[in-house]
A and B are shown apart, each in its own frame.
Chain A
């Protein structure tokens, strides 16, 4: 079946611009997670949703980052006033929740010039 889909696969933009990154989870998965992976590092947790609500947003670095999941399926990660330090691969994962395994997408590589 279809896995987790993330678009775009690559995004290059200028410092100060606004970006939206999209995640389409596996059908039927109620839990959705966003992580950020910098070069040479492991993924770092940003936020996770159970259904439409954010169950834990403690990993969002500051108020420039925001994520939504209005219908409990597709999620969008939004970054305002981008900075060069935001450059990373943004990973999305979904699961059936609880202790079920998280299935990852291929990520969006974000480059801020």
Chain B
């Protein structure tokens, strides 16, 4: 069935370090791919999305590229900040079906 596997956390990095959080998916059809973020004390927010192969989603310095050949959607940021500390969730839906399938989340902590 449909699933999302993402890098287990927690991940701790120093400020200005390079970030990668891996995400791979299993889906039928043609999924759209998403990264959601949950900051401390806040609700889930959409960070970025990509709707077809080779699309790159980007927001707030974060990027992820839809790789159909490797069924991956890895999240990257070149220089992280303390304010990026949060839990990050990779997710997908399927064309014609709006329900989201989420990964287990990766807790990211950035230390100054």
**A residues engaging B (CB < 8 A)?**
3-4, 31, 33, 35, 40-45, 48, 55-56, 58-59, 91, 93, 95, 97-99, 101-107
> Measured between alpha carbons, how far is A97 from B98 in the docked complex, in Å?
8
Tell me, in angstroms, the Cα distance from A80 to B97 when the chains sit together: 28
Closest residue of chain B to A107 (Cβ to Cβ) is: B43
Q: B71-97: which have CB < 8 Å to A?
A: 89, 91, 93, 97
Whether B102 pairs with A44 at a CB distance below 8 angstroms is yes
**B1 smallest CB distance to A (angstroms):** 11
Taking residues whose C-beta sits less than 8 angstroms from the other chain, chain B's interface range is 20 to 34
The CA of A51 and the CA of B49, in the complex, are separated in Å by 25
What are 29 A-B contacts with C-beta separation under 8 Å?
A: A35-B102, A40-B104, A41-B104, A42-B91, A42-B103, A42-B104, A43-B44, A43-B89, A43-B100, A43-B102, A44-B102, A45-B100, A48-B99, A55-B98, A56-B97, A56-B99, A59-B99, A93-B44, A97-B98, A99-B32, A99-B93, A101-B34, A101-B49, A103-B46, A104-B36, A104-B45, A105-B43, A106-B43, A107-B43
Contact check, B89 vs A42: say whether CB atoms are below 8 A apart.
yes
**What are the residues of chain A within 8 A of B34 when measuring CB–CB?**
101
The answer to whether B44 touches A91 (Cβ under 8 A) is yes
